[in-house]
Structure 1
Amino acid sequence: MTRARISQLADKYMSHDMITLHTELSDFPEGRISLLYALLSHQPAAAQHKELLSVVTSLVQMGLDTHDLVDNDSAPARSGMKAMRAQQLKVLAGDYFSSRFYQLLSQAGQIDMVRQLSEAVCDINRSKMTLYAKMIQLKLSAEEYVQHAAEIKSGLFLSFTGVMGGLYERVWPELIERFSRCEVLLHELTRIQKLSKLESSWGVWHILQDGTEEDRRTLRDRREDQGIIKGLLNKYAVSEKLAGLLRQSAAQLQALAQRLQSDKLLRELQPLIEPFVQAAGPQPATALKELG
């Protein structure tokens, strides 16, 4: 089953003309869904349900991610009717995707999976509240930011730990957490390259943690000034630091995949890991010299 096939199946349950025409949706979580599908394929007890479980998990994740696109800070009176309608549809779209998840699992008699995924959603929402509270109070280190973000991304998928057997059950939690961490770091690297929403990026938390007092004060006072932030990100070589973290996490992810002791599965997972390896780039020559 290809990544495109998973997305195609999920789209069958997410497709709605009003949502498609009037609002933006989050990106489909292809990487994590493909990882889940690959692991479920090697579980005798779960293999027959791997397609259903992958689709419903993607629906729940899309519901959560679409709700995150709602801009609670925008003023409806100023944003206009079209923008306000798009915001309302994001909320409705997230709810719609969740309703399809309940429907599909209930029809298949997978009531226990409904409970597990629902509990995971509650845990994820609590993690989001903790993260947002720390962000508002500016009490967040760069590493805590990555940890919280990876925890939020991996939350639903940890529900399947009990479905795994033997070695897979032991490796799965660390595997999905490390994969999610790579996704977070890749996203942060992409944000810098596209200069997109830098005010809440990893680089800002890194500078607030390790920057000079003057630079920290500048960030606190002018966090919405993209030009100021861009200059500071360059000053502190944030792209290079993120690439190094991504390179490290991708290597750890590859090592975890090898622990599964299946050449067939490793071949299936390699295309999922490769984008992280490519984005991180080669090890700098200075670092290689130090290692030697």
Structure 2
Amino acid sequence: MNSNSIAEAAKPYTDYDMIRNHTELPDFPNFRTQLLYTFLHKSSTFIEQSELFALVVSLAQLGLDTHDLVSVTNERKEKAEARSRQLKVLAGDYFSSRFYHLLAQAGQVEMTRQMATAICEVNRLKMNLYTRMRQWKMTADDYMQYSVSIKTQLYLSFSRALEGMKPNSWDDMLNGYTRCEVLLDELRRIERDRDFRSGWAFWHLLQIGTKEERRQLQNEDTDPGKLRALLHKYNVKATLFQMLESQFKTLSDKIRQFDSEKLVAELYQIGEPFLRAISAPRALEEV
């Protein structure tokens, strides 16, 4: 099995018509999962568990990401909306239960403990993030750091297991790829009016905008056209592309420091969607 096959291995646990037909699911955490599999497969100690560990961490991440899609309020009473909300809760719980079950079957007690600890840390970080957002105490840099930390916690459970490789290589690669992933997600987000307010661009504009523009941003009833005009005025998309290009260059410099040509090639293959987005911005939706 190669790193691209982990998503296929997860399908028996995620592809259910009841879920797919009545609610949306988050994207599979491909970048981080492929990266984890690649590093575990290079470790003589964990090569036999590389597929299992990559699978279980992806299911645990899917569980957390699915719960994030549950609306905060239950104001919409339509039958379809209520069913969608309920299925997100149940699907998130189910994905999480599969991760526990698979590790228990394999007798991986210590890894179960580490993953459970990481999940607690993810929830703590999310609570801090939401609290700062509600109190308007968030900056764009804060948002980026929280986003990366939240996405990497489960995968950092393997830092000790991979510490025998090049010093700090796992943590550095995980952080670098995840920053690129967040930036790519934020570029897509600004094209969608419905979740613009929960992203990097919103907090960036809130920092650099005029007093009147900040007032507009804080008003939830502001016309989407005005918000889009602010994005254009401050060249937010161009700024995000520049950030992605800079981050990928930093990541590339670190990748080239590995001695194994095969590992370098595999790491570049994982990061190819980032390079494709930088090279052809118009093809962003295809990445």
Distance 2:222 2:167 in 1: 44
**Structure 2 contact 43–165 (Cα < 8 Å) conserved:** no
Partner of 1:14: 14
**Structure 2 contact 3–38 (Cα < 8 Å) conserved:** no
Partner of 1:82: 80
Identity between Structure 1 and Structure 2 (%): 44
Partner of 1:24: 24
Further displaced range: 223-232 or 41-50:
223-232
Verify: 1:145 aligned to 2:135, yes or no. no
Q: TM-score, normalised by structure 2?
A: 0.92
Q: 1:20 to 1:218 in 2, by over 3 A?
A: closer
Deviation at 1:4, TM superposition (A): 4.4
**Structure 1 contact 117–156 (Cα < 8 Å) conserved:** yes
**Structure 1 contact 243–281 (Cα < 8 Å) conserved:** no
What's the Cα RMSD here?
1.7
Partner of 1:67: 67
Task: State the aligned residue count.
Answer: 280
Partner of 1:290: none
Partner SS, residue 43 of structure 1? coil
Q: 1:82 to 1:195 in 2, by over 3 A?
A: closer
Where does structure 2 lack aligned partners over 5 or more consecutive residues?
Answer: 281-287
Partner of 1:97: 95
Distance 2:223 2:268 in 1: 40
Distance 2:262 2:124 in 1: 37
Partner of 1:160: 158
Deviation at 1:257, TM superposition (A): 1.8
Further displaced range: 98-107 or 14-23:
14-23
Residue in structure 2 matching 1:274, options 272, 281, 284: 272
Q: What aligned pairs does 1:230-269 form with structure 2 within 5 A after superposition?
A: 230-269=228-267
Q: What aligned pairs does 1:164-243 form with structure 2 within 5 A after superposition?
A: 164-222=162-220, 225-243=223-241
**Structure 1 contact 3–34 (Cα < 8 Å) conserved:** yes
Partner of 1:41: 41
Residue in structure 2 matching 1:117, options 108, 115, 118: 115
Deviation at 1:269, TM superposition (A): 1.1
Further displaced range: 265-274 or 219-228:
219-228
| Residues 201-248 of structure 1: CA deviation (Å, up to 9, x unaligned) | 211111111222221122122465322211101111000111111111
Q: TM-score, normalised by structure 1?
A: 0.91
